[in-house]
């Protein structure tokens, strides 16, 4: 699998920087001695300004001429000068003497001893870590496919397909109906995408569909669905089933899921006249307008509409709009502008038609404001109102509370248009899937039937162990989460675009589709180079499992946030490297510690923990291990240093890829070696999670909730292990937490395990 | 600095905020060569000056950290700070750009040790806190600054303070002889991610931003709430340093108004809803937030956030465009005058502090841009006549962070399309 060339004989080197006050504050000769006698480094050099060209060249020369393969830099934080200390093919560790020691330990000679001890420990740790590392070479895939699969042939799907094709990529587009165009092809006109934002515009759907059909790089499958998606980014084996029964297989590199939405069912809104005569939804009005084609808009009974009321937020926004609280909780974003557009259909044909829009908050952001103004100029009436009831019929009746005049009133209209919401087409809910599969496996017949039904609504039919579609968010939208990283999903190489992932208007959907196409292209390019995907795109490491030690407990397959691990025919975990995001949650999950990365493993961290010099109980110098998430908690610790805050010199901090990668062996090792306490610092979990790997920090909490038993077995107090949610801005808070914990441990007293390690 | 590195296969991204960083990184992680030009001394842009994001109430610096990590790991992006675009000529696939680089007076030897800052006595208004406090004239722009290098303010270059900074540096990093440079580069495509700036609140005369100390902007409020800000996260009002507990938020300050900004700035409703929770964070149940609004535009899934804030007993909503603000001379409290349009009640309500939810206007408003760019009536960049330059993020439309990133990701692909087409045309021609 791996293409790493035969490793050279390892040669370890430590480079100590004495700049930035390190040499003034610490006994550098003492650090050198530690690197030599305990770190067993073959080369040890100190430089007054290691990060400058000369210092870096010294290291490069040693690599080139002296056969150095492993480098420990004892200088500033790994977050500083990262560009200077980059050496291809070399295993690298960083001992943080600046932000981690001299900038945070109180000044003055009273602290000289503990400061030096802290620095020496970090040198020990850096040496121990690098000896257990190998430089990842990456697993280059020469045969990977760069073809992009687009599922859904509406505006979003067509836009994504054209965007990828225009960038030179082959595209396979699968559309379940017999024509391209999707929801947009049912529209008479669309809201303007650019200035002057005054009139409804032609949809351009037919032109776009023709462009897609005529594009030599795009292969369109109509009347087709995805029957199976197997494999991983770069090698998705996609079975495309046509209505006729034929199945074609395409090898694709990445997927854009643009499966759109369905409108909220009108008949679920009887309180607003849904299902009654002359009460339509926005889609219904488009059909009438399309039939009229610029002429007078007529109702189903053929009567010309002379008065129309638009009811905004119909069955949306909980009780905030014109919902009763039992329909959609969210706002669909597009409906205000859509109603404005539709009101213009009437006014454009006959300015005398009574056109009223009843709204609670009119939501037309950006230049939509001009479109709103244009409607007001055309005489569309906007009434801030809460509609309490609609009765359909020859003359529809709308009862409402006028919120401006503060009175209950009613009005008649020939036609009522309900602005109902978008319901995402996102396939199978994986929680439901897992429960159904579990029940079916235990012999529940009903569950077996349900499983078949669920498979029918699946969009992607992934053969992943964790289920056939992308995980969903609240309200059933397809996965996509970060504010800063809106396209990241929990299925690597699969990106959702358009209203399947978030309610949106057509303009936003097209922009969204181009972005999703970009991410899909990036995914195939990264796979080809053997690199990870966001947020560790530079990462060439990937998890390896020593299967001979595996007990088939399945924790890694279940806990992987990205569904990267399947099972092979012998029920061993099967790692799909291209799906992996390198968070290490599998490594943290593994009870027998058989999973590791070349440069990050149970050993690289475990040996650091063991390298720390733990004083005996009589010295009254507690040792506290901090396992800090490198994304937020570790930067917060660094930042405390940058701001010259001070915290106890008794802590030893180790950055981890994610708290989810923390294996409990590290905790028990630390406690067994006489550490007095362990602080785990990770990102926020829960609905508003901030974990970059979505579930990593949550998994850590779950695992730590079970550590109390271990502590009891060791005869230790539960306070000796703490877990904290730390935000990146919590520099002052981490300092406080550390210092309070030191005091708390002083009260509890030294660990009884000291001396037994 | 040599111009030869860039070719018509290079993408220039103008602006190093969240949109620019995204556009640059997305393209670079596709293997493209990118130059990222930022006019200030650090990347991060306006989002790095926000305390929290809606709707998760997480911190922008978290996303910045990841993006910086992506950047450090990627040799395809060349970052140029203190750099502005002076001119662009040429066409799609073949642009020549002229960049002006201002002196930082600190070279690449800087380790950010901070010795120069200690040696300098002059102070300047802190740009990272919108001038609400002062910092030394030799400074690191903020804790997350990238590049992590100090800046010497031009005001002390050539003064004894400047010399003191130079003398204090053990690494020879202070170079007071630096001059403004001009470089010319060839690029295939340009992404304009020049971002936004707050509308000048002083222009909204009835609100008295220029006269009433306790009327501040929503951006200044972000800094007050931030634990890293000038007040350490305490909501201390400007007139007397008293803790503000009864705070008014005025929506559409400049936006949706043909006398000021004709567009809706999209983010301000959510920003104010978010800021009411800063008041809760700082004052608990004793805080009181009042939002004066026209429409609450908590679009799509953000409705949940609005629904939760709406339930918060410390927050109330008044549907009204505030007519004017007076001052209670006795205590410095602003008094808001207007009519509550729900029931037409006149009000004159006193608050400790007023936060104007100021609108977004393109940062480039008033700046001479290449004629090739197509702007809308509010100066947002719609695209270019030559077809090889694109707007991204809030340079293209008033957008929140999530949508700005989405827009920047799309712009990145549009730029890649241009250089791929150029490459294939050249290949078929040769």
- For every residue of A453-494, DSSP letters joined together read HHHHH-SS-B--TT-SS--B-GGGPBS---SS-TT--SSTTE
Q: Chain A, 558-597: which have a CB under 8 Å from a chain B CB?
A: none
- B3 has pLDDT over 50: no
Asked if pLDDT for residue B430 goes beyond 80, the answer is no
Report the percent of chain B where pLDDT is more than 70.
Answer: 99
Task: Of A465, A483, A442, A494, give the one whose Cα is nearest residue A554.
Answer: A465
User: Nearest CB to B409: which of A49, A365, A518?
Assistant: A518
**Angle, alpha carbons A648-A653-A658 (nearest 5°):** 140
- 3-class secondary-structure state, position A183: helix
User: Which of B360, B389, B418 is the last residue before a domain boundary?
Assistant: B360
Query: Same domain, yes or no, for B336 and B384?
Result: no
Looking at the fold, whether B396 and B296 belong to one and the same domain comes out as no
DSSP structure string for A530-555: T---TT-TT-----EE-GGG-----H
Res. A2: pLDDT tops 80: no
Interface of A with B in 306-325 (CB under 8 A): 317-318, 320
What CATH number did the domain enclosing B21 receive? Answer: 3.50.50.60
Alpha carbon distance B216, B52 (integer Å): 18
pLDDT in tens, A44-103: 999 999 999 999 999 999 999 999 999 999 999 999 999 999 999 999 999 999 999 999
Please tell me which residue of chain A has the smallest CA distance to B303.
Answer: A330
Mark which residues 33-72 of A lie under 8 Å from B by CB: 49, 51-52
Asked if A518 lies within 8 A of B416 by C-beta distance, the reply is yes
Helix runs in A314-367, H state only: 335-349
Length, in residues, of chain B? 430
Q: Are residues B159 and B276 in the same domain?
A: no
- Residue located via tokens 């920003």: B271
Please give, rounded to a whole number of angstroms, the shortest distance from the CA of B327 to a CA of chain A.
29
CB contacts, 8 Å: B226 with chain A: 729
Average pLDDT, rounded, for chain B: 95
C-alpha–C-alpha distance, residues A616 and A676, integer Å: 11
Q: Which of A678, A637, A602, A738 is nearest to A77 (CA)?
A: A637
The bridge status of strand B123-125 relative to strand B134-136 is antiparallel
Taking the CB of residue A457, how many other CB atoms lie within 10 A of it?
13
- Beta strands B138-139 and B360-362: pairing type? unpaired
The predicted pLDDT at position A414 comes to 98
Q: Report the C-alpha gap between B40 and A746 in whole angstroms.
A: 48
Domains located in chain A, CATH noted: 1-135 (3.40.50), 148-260+470-528 (3.50.50.60), 264-423 (3.50.50.60), 544-589 (3.30.70.20), 614-757 (3.40.50)
Q: How far apart are CA A459 and CA A690, in angstroms?
A: 28
Q: Which two tokens stand for residue A202?
A: 């032609």
Say yes or no to pLDDT of B2 above 70. no
CA neighbor of A498 nearest in space, from A526, A459, A531:
A459
For residue B349, give both structure tokens. Answer: 């309500």
Q: CB A167 to CB B420 under 8 A?
A: yes
User: What would the pLDDT profile of A129-174 be if each residue is shown by its tens digit?
Assistant: 999 999 998 877 777 899 999 999 999 999 999 999 999 999 999 9
Pairing of strands A422-424, A247-252: unpaired
Q: How far apart are CA A611 and CA A286, in angstroms?
A: 71
> How far is residue B335's CA from residue B337's CA, in Å, rounded to a whole number?
7
Q: How far apart are CA B114 and CA A379, in angstroms?
A: 64
Task: Look at residue A420 and tell me whether its pLDDT is greater than 90.
Answer: yes
pLDDT of B326 above 50:
yes
Query: Residue A3: is its pLDDT beyond 70?
Result: no
Average pLDDT for residues A362-381, to the nearest whole number?
97
Give the residue from B319, B337, B360 where a domain finishes.
Answer: B360
Q: What ipTM is given for this predicted complex?
A: 0.96
Among residues B1, B47, B111, B54, which one has the least CA distance to residue B394? B47
* A379 vs B: CB within 8 A: no
Phi/psi region, residue A294 (left: phi>0; alpha: psi -120 to 50; beta: rest), is left
Residue in chain A nearest B304 by alpha carbon = A330
* A395-399, A483-487, A629-633, B348-352: segment of lowest average pLDDT: A483-487
Q: Are residues B34 and B98 in the same domain?
A: yes
Which of A553, A733, A570 lies closest to A640, judged by CA? A733
* Closest chain B C-alpha to A655 CA, distance in angstroms: 14
B108 inside domain: no
Backbone angles phi, psi at B4, to 5 degrees: -75, -15
B309 class by beta-carbon count within 10 Å (0-12 exposed, 13-18 middle, 19+ buried): buried
B258 in a structural domain = yes
- The answer to whether residue B110 is domain-embedded is no
Residues B60 and B187 both lie in one domain: yes
Based on the fold, state whether residues B301 and B189 are members of the same structural domain: no
Q: B97 with B187, same domain?
A: yes
- What is the C-alpha separation between B82 and A263, in angstroms, rounded? 50
In this structure, the answer to whether residues B369 and B353 fall within a common structural domain is no
Can you give A38-76 as a three-state secondary structure string? CCCCCEEEEECCCCCHHHHHHHHHHHHHHCCCEEEEEEC
Q: What 3-state DSSP class applies to A352?
A: coil
Does one domain contain both B46 and B88? Answer: yes
Flag whether B175 is in a domain: no
Phi, psi of B421 (to 5 degrees): -65, -40
The whole-number average pLDDT for the span A520-526 is 95
Cross-strand pairs, A171: A148, A218
How far is A725 from A690, CA to CA, in rounded Å? 10
Report residue B61 as tokens.
Answer: 């610096």
The whole-angstrom distance between A576's CA and the closest CA on chain B is 21
Q: How far is CA A297 from the centre of its chain?
A: 46
- The conformational region for residue A36 under phi > 0 = left, psi -120 to 50 = alpha, else beta, is alpha
Spatial separation of the C-alpha atoms in residues A163 and A169, rounded to whole Å: 9
Q: What is the pLDDT of residues B161-170, one digit of tens each?
A: 999 999 999 9
Domain encompassing residue B156: 115-168
Helix/strand/coil for A428: coil
Structure confidence at residue A80 (pLDDT)? 95
Pairwise CB contact (< 8 Å): A518 & B61: no
Model confidence at A533, pLDDT cuts 50, 70, 90, reads confident
Helical (H) or strand (E) element with B384? strand B381-384
Domain count within chain B = 3
A618 pLDDT band (50/70/90 cuts)?
Answer: confident
From B334, B360, B386, the end of a domain falls on B360
Q: What pLDDT, on a 0 to 100 scale, did the predictor assign at position A1?
A: 39
The yes-or-no verdict on residue B4 having pLDDT over 60 is no
What mean pLDDT comes out for the span A4-9? 59
Q: Determine phi and psi for A196, rounding to 5 degrees.
A: -90, 10
**Does one domain contain both B253 and B313?**
yes
Using the predicted structure, report yes or no on whether residue A297 has a pLDDT greater than 80.
yes
pLDDT at A579 over 50: yes
The 10 Å CB-count burial string (b at 16+, else e) for A582-592 is bbbbbbbbbee
Both B137 and B274 in one domain: the answer is no
Give residue A4's pLDDT band: very low, low, confident or very high (50, 70, 90).
Answer: very low
Residue B70 counted as domain residue: yes
Find the mean pLDDT for residues A190-198.
94
B92-98: average pLDDT: 97
For residue B5, what pLDDT is reported? Answer: 66
Q: A522, A534, A685: best mutation site toward chain B, by most B Cβ within 10 Å?
A: A522
Comparing CB atoms, the residue among A331, A366, A729 nearest residue B61 is: A729
Residue B6, pLDDT score: 79
Give a yes or no: residue B377 inside a domain: yes
Question: Cα–Cα distance between A180 and A193 in angstroms, integer?
Answer: 21
For the stretch A734-747, pLDDT in tens is 999 999 999 999 99
Q: What is the rounded average pLDDT of the residues A604-625?
A: 95
- Chain B residues in contact with A689 by the CB 8 A cut-off are 56
Q: Which of B26, B143, B399 faces A643 most closely, judged by CB atoms?
A: B143
What's residue B251's pLDDT?
Answer: 98
In a domain? residue B174? no
pLDDT tens digit sequence for B177-193: 999 999 999 999 999 99
Residue whose structure tokens are 């603000």: B325
Residue B275 lies in a domain: yes
Q: What is the pTM of this model?
A: 0.96
**B413 vs A163, A384, A484: nearest CB:** A163
The region of weakest confidence among A681-695, B31-45, B393-407 is A681-695
Asked if pLDDT for residue A7 goes beyond 80, the answer is no
Q: What is the mean pLDDT of residues B29-56?
A: 96
Is residue A308 within 8 Å of residue A298, measured between CB atoms?
no
Q: Is the pLDDT of residue A279 over 60?
A: yes
Indicate yes or no: CB of A514 within 8 angstroms of CB of B410. yes
* Pure H helices in A565-620: 585-589, 602-611
d(CA A327, CA A332): 12
Q: In what order do the strands lie in the sheet with A651-656?
A: A651-656, A624-629, A677-682, A721-725
Q: Which helix (H) or strand (E) holds A91?
A: strand A91-96
Tell me, what's the pLDDT at B1? 38
Question: A583, A555, A529: which is closest to A233 by C-alpha?
Answer: A529
Chain A segment 195-234 residues within 8 A of B by beta carbon are 195-196
Assign A323 a pLDDT band (cuts: 50, 70, 90).
Answer: low
Distance CA A111, CA A126 (A): 22
Categorize the per-residue pLDDT at B428 as very low, low, confident or very high, splitting at 50, 70 and 90.
confident
Task: Specify whether B337 is located in the same domain as B408.
Answer: no
Half-sphere exposure of A421 (CA within 13 A, CB side): 29
For A3, half-sphere exposure in the C-beta direction (CA atoms, 13 angstrom radius) is: 9
Helix (H) or strand (E) holding A211: helix A205-214
Query: What confidence tier does B7 reach under pLDDT thresholds 50, 70, 90?
Result: confident
Cβ distance A486 to B402 less than 8 Å, yes or no, reads: yes
Q: Are B270 and B55 in contact (CB under 8 A)?
A: yes
Q: What is the mean pLDDT of residues A578-585?
A: 95
CB A615 within 8 A of CB A623: yes
């Amino acid at each position: 699998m791996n293409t790493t060339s035969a490793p050279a004989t390892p040669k370890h080197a430590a480079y100590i920087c004495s700049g930035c006050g390190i040499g003034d504050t610490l006994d550098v000769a003492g650090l050198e001695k530690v690197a030599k006698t305990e770190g067993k480094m073959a080369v040890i050099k100190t430089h007054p300004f290691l990060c400058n060209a000369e210092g870096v060249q010294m290291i490069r020369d040693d690599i080139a001429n002296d056969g150095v393969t492993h480098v420990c830099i004892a200088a500033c934080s790994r977050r500083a000068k990262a560009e200077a200390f980059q050496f291809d093919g070399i295993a690298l560790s960083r001992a943080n003497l600046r932000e981690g020691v001299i900038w945070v330990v109180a000044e003055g000679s009273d602290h000289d001893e503990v400061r030096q001890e802290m620095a020496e420990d970090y040198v020990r740790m850096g040496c121990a870590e690098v000896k257990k590392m190998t430089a990842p070479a990456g697993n280059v895939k020469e045969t990977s496919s760069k073809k992009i699969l687009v599922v859904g042939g509406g505006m979003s799907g067509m836009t994504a397909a054209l965007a990828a094709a225009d960038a030179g990529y082959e595209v396979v587009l699968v559309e379940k109906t017999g024509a391209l165009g999707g929801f947009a092809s049912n529209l008479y006109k669309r809201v303007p995408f650019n200035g002057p934002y005054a009139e409804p515009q032609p949809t351009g759907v037919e032109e776009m569909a023709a462009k897609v059909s005529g594009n030599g790089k795009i292969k369109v499958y109509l009347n087709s669905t995805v029957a199976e998606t197997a494999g991983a980014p770069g090698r998705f084996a996609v079975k495309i089933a046509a209505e006729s029964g034929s199945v074609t297989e395409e090898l694709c590199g990445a997927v854009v899921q643009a499966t759109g939405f369905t409108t909220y069912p009108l008949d679920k809104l009887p309180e607003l006249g849904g299902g009654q005569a002359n009460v339509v939804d926005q889609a219904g009005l488009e059909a009438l307008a399309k039939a009229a084609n610029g002429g007078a808009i007529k109702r189903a009974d053929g009567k010309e509409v002379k008065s129309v009321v638009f009811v905004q937020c119909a069955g949306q926004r909980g009780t905030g709009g014109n919902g009763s609280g039992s329909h959609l909780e969210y706002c669909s974003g597009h409906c205000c502008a859509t109603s404005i557009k539709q009101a213009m259909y009437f006014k454009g044909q006959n300015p005398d038609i009574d056109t009223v829009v009843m709204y609670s908050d009119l939501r037309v952001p950006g230049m939509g404001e001009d479109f709103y103004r244009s409607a007001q100029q055309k005489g569309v009436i906007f009434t801030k109102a809460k509609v309490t009831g609609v009765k359909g019929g020859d003359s529809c009746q709308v009862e409402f509370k006028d919120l401006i005049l503060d009175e209950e009133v009613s009005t008649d209209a020939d036609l009522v248009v309900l602005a109902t919401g978008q319901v995402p087409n996102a396939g199978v809910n994986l929680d439901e899937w897992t429960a159904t599969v579990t029940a079916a496996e235990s012999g529940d017949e009903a569950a077996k039937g349900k499983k078949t039904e669920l498979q029918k609504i699946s969009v992607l039919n992934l053969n992943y162990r964790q289920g056939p579609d992308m995980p969903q968010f609240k309200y059933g939208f397809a996965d996509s989460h970060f504010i800063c990283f809106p396209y990241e999903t929990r299925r690597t190489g699969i990106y959702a675009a358009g209203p399947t992932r978030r309610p949106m208007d057509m303009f936003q959907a097209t922009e969204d589709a181009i972005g999703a196409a970009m991410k899909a292209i990036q995914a195939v390019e990264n796979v080809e180079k053997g690199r990870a995907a966001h947020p560790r795109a530079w990462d060439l490491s990937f998890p390896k499992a020593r299967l001979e030690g595996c007990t088939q407990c399945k924790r890694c397959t279940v806990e992987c946030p990205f569904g990267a691990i399947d099972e092979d025919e012998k029920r061993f975990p099967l790692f799909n490297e291209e799906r992996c995001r390198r968070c290490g949650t599998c490594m943290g999950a593994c009870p027998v510690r058989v999973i590791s990365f070349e440069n990050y493993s149970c050993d690289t961290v475990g040996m650091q923990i063991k390298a720390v010099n733990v004083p005996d109980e009589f010295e009254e110098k507690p040792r506290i291990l901090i396992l800090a998430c490198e994304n937020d908690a570790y930067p917060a610790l660094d930042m405390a240093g940058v701001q010259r805050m001070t915290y106890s010199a008794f802590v030893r901090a180790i950055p981890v890829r994610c708290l989810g990668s923390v294996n409990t062996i590290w905790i028990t090792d630390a406690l067994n070696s006489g550490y007095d306490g362990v602080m785990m610092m990770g990102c926020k979990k829960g609905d508003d999670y901030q974990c970059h790997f979505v579930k990593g920090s949550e998994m850590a909490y779950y695992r730590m909730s079970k550590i109390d038993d271990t502590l009891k077995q060791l005869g230790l107090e539960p306070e000796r292990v703490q877990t904290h949610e730390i935000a990146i801005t919590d520099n002052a808070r981490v300092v406080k937490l550390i210092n309070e914990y030191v005091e708390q441990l002083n009260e509890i007293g030294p660990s009884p395990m000291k001396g037994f390690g | 600095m040599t111009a030869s590195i860039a070719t018509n296969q290079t993408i220039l991204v103008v602006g190093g905020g969240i949109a620019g960083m995204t556009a640059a990184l997305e393209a670079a992680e596709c293997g493209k060569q990118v130059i990222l030009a930022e006019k200030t001394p650090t990347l991060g842009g306006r989002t790095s000056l926000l305390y929290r994001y809606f709707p998760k109430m997480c911190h922008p610096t978290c996303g910045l950290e990841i993006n910086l990590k992506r950047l450090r790991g990627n040799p395809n992006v060349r970052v140029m700070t203190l750099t502005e675009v002076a001119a662009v000529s040429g066409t799609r696939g073949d642009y020549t750009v002229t960049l002006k680089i201002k002196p930082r007076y600190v070279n690449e030897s800087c380790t950010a040790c901070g010795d120069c800052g200690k040696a300098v006595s002059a102070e300047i208004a802190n740009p990272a806190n919108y001038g609400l406090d002062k910092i030394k004239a030799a400074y690191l722009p903020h804790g997350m600054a990238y590049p992590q290098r100090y800046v010497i303010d031009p005001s002390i270059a050539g003064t004894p303070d400047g010399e003191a900074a130079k003398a204090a540096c053990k690494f020879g990093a202070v170079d007071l002889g630096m001059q403004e440079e001009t470089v010319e580069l060839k690029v295939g495509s340009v992404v304009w991610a020049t971002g936004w700036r707050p509308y000048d609140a002083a222009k909204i005369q009835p609100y008295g931003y220029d006269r009433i100390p306790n009327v501040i902007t929503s951006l200044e409020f972000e800094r007050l709430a931030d634990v890293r800000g000038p007040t350490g996260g305490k909501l201390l009002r400007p007139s007397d340093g008293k803790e503000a507990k009864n705070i008014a938020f005025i929506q559409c300050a400049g936006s949706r108004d043909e006398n000021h900004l004709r567009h809706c700035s999209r983010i301000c409703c959510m920003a104010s809803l978010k800021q009411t929770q800063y008041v809760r964070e700082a004052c608990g149940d004793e805080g009181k937030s009042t939002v004066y609004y026209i429409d609450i535009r908590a679009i799509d899934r953000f409705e949940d956030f609005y629904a939760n804030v709406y339930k918060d007993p410390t927050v109330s909503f008044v549907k009204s465009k505030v007519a004017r603000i007076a001052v209670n001379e006795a205590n410095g409290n602003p008094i808001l005058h207007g009519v509550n349009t729900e029931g037409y009640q006149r009000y004159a309500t006193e608050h400790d502090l007023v936060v104007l939810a100021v609108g977004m206007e393109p940062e480039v408003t008033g700046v001479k841009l290449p004629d090739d760019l197509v702007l809308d009536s509010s100066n947002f960049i719609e695209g270019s006549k030559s077809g090889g330059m694109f707007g991204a993020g809030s340079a293209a439309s008033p957008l929140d962070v999530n949508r700005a990133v989405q827009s920047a990701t799309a712009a990145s692909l549009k730029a890649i399309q241009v250089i791929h087409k150029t490459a294939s045309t050249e290949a078929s021609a040769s």
